[in-house]
Amino acid sequence: MGSAAWVSTALDFLALHWRPKMTTIKKTKRRTKSAMIARMLNRAKGATLTEIQRATGWKPHSCRAFLSGVRKQGSVLVKEVRPDGSITYKITSKAHS
């Protein structure tokens, strides 16, 4: 076997069996709108409907539907009135089933 044939065979072998090294990819937390709203609702001051709208870009009815879903998942959602008259929503705890 000539040297050209050997090089060709070696390159064919490498092409079939060589794989690049897999590097580990750092997994970051997903920044979903749901997670963002949950953080807002867990704050001491809670979140108003307007704050949720601005943070998500949702319309008011979508924000209210999300809050309804939070209640259905078993969280205790409390409505409070701030001194400026705006209504605040807060998650106080998980309901016991």
CATH number, domain 30-97: 1.10.10.10
Q: What is the pLDDT of residue 3?
A: 59
Reference 46, options 95, 88, 92, 94; nearest CA is: 88
Tell me the per-residue pLDDT of 23-43, one tens digit each, with 9 for 90 and over.
Answer: 776 666 678 999 999 999 999
Assign 3-state DSSP to the chain and report helix, strand, coil percentages, each to 5: 45, 20, 35
Number of residues that make up the chain: 97
Q: What is the pLDDT of residue 5?
A: 60
pTM summary value: 0.64
pLDDT of 91 over the 80 cut: yes
Provide the edge-to-edge strand list for the sheet that holds 87-94: 47-48, 87-94, 75-81
Q: What is the pLDDT of residue 31?
A: 83
Domain ranges (residues) in the chain: 30-97
Tell me the per-residue pLDDT of 51-87, one tens digit each, with 9 for 90 and over.
Answer: 999 999 999 999 999 999 999 999 999 999 999 999 9
